[in-house]
Amino acid sequence: MTFTLKDASAPIFVRGLTNLSHLIDKAVEAGLDEAELLEARLAPDMRPFADQIRMASFSGRSCVARLTGQPWPKTDDNEASLAELKATIALSIAFIEGVDATAFEGGETRRIELRFPGVELDFDGVGYLTSFAIPNFFFHVTTAYAILRNRGVALGKRDFLGQLDLLQAA
């Protein structure tokens, strides 16, 4: 069996986003004030919870799009409720799952250029995935998890890890 670029990216993003959606469900069950949670942050200079969800969702779908050389679905980044954030997660999952495996062919060496104010980053596909996209994605997922824990939501490691792909007994 060959391990492909799609195998190294899409399932990781789908799993993390699925778990993130579950974390939001746990926050709702905990009865947190929604408006307060959307603006909650770990430190004054960090982005709030809503932005962590937006950035994790964007990171997953934009990575897959960049690796496959196609546009990604855009959002307005103005979600004002947990339900709207869950819809952004669902949009990202649907996009990632909808990309055909053949679209990833050649993505390992595809040039990926990122431009931010004062920063220019140039990668090949593998370098982009492994040194930027995956770590960036998990930074935002982990920060969202930490904000919820900080607000008293009963979460554990299994909530973060989600469904494990265990070997099934024969």
**d(Cα 151, Cα 40) in Å, to the nearest integer?**
8
Do 129 and 97 form a contact (C-beta atoms < 8 A)? no
Q: Which two tokens stand for residue 167?
A: 């070997």
**d(Cα 167, Cα 154) in Å, to the nearest integer?**
28
Residue 169 pLDDT grade (very low, low, confident, very high; cuts 50, 70, 90): low
pLDDT surpassing 90 at residue 167? no
Q: Which CATH class is domain 10-155?
A: mainly alpha
Mean pLDDT of 58-87: 96
Domain ranges of the chain: 10-155
Please report the pLDDT score of residue 170 as a whole number.
58
Residue 74 pLDDT grade (very low, low, confident, very high; cuts 50, 70, 90): very high
- Of 12-21, 44-53, 66-75, 160-169, which gets the smallest average pLDDT? 160-169
Q: How far apart are the first and last CA of the chain?
A: 19
Q: Which residues is 122 bridged to in the sheet?
A: 113
Please report the pLDDT score of residue 129 as a whole number.
98
What is the pTM for the complete model shown? 0.94
- Percentage with pLDDT > 90 across the chain: 92
Amino acid letter, 145: Y
pLDDT surpassing 90 at residue 41? yes
